[in-house]
Amino acid sequence: MKIIKTISELKIALEEIGRDKSIGFVPTMGYLHDGHLSLINEARSQNDFTVVSIFVNPTQFAPGEDLDAYPRDFDRDSRLAAAAGTDLLFFPDPGEIYPAGASTFVEVAGEITKKLCGQSRPTHFKGVTTVVNILFNLIQPNRAYFGQKDAQQVAVIKKMVRDLHLPIQLTVCPIVREADGLAMSSRNVFLTPEERNQALVLSQSLAAAKVLHESGEGRVKTLKDQIIGQISTMPLAVIDYVDILDFETLADIETITAPALAAVAVRFGSTRLIDNIILD
- Catalytic, 124? Answer no
Q: Choose the catalytic residue: 36, 124, 165, 213.
A: 36
Q: Are 106 and 222 in contact (CB under 8 A)?
A: no
- What contacts 81, CB < 8 A, 6 or more positions away? 1, 32, 40, 52, 54, 89
Question: How do 88-90 and 49-54 pair as beta strands?
Answer: parallel
For 246, counting Cβ atoms within 10 Å of its Cβ (0-12 exposed, 13-18 middle, 19+ buried), the class is middle
Q: Could you give the CA distance from residue 56 to residue 67 in angstroms, rounded to a whole number?
A: 8
Residue 10 phi/psi, 5-degree rounding, is -60, -45
Q: Indicate the DSSP class of residue 177.
A: B
Helix (H, G, I), strand (E, B) or coil at 256: coil
Give Rg (Cα) of the chain. 19
For 273, counting Cβ atoms within 10 Å of its Cβ (0-12 exposed, 13-18 middle, 19+ buried), the class is buried
Catalytic residues: 36
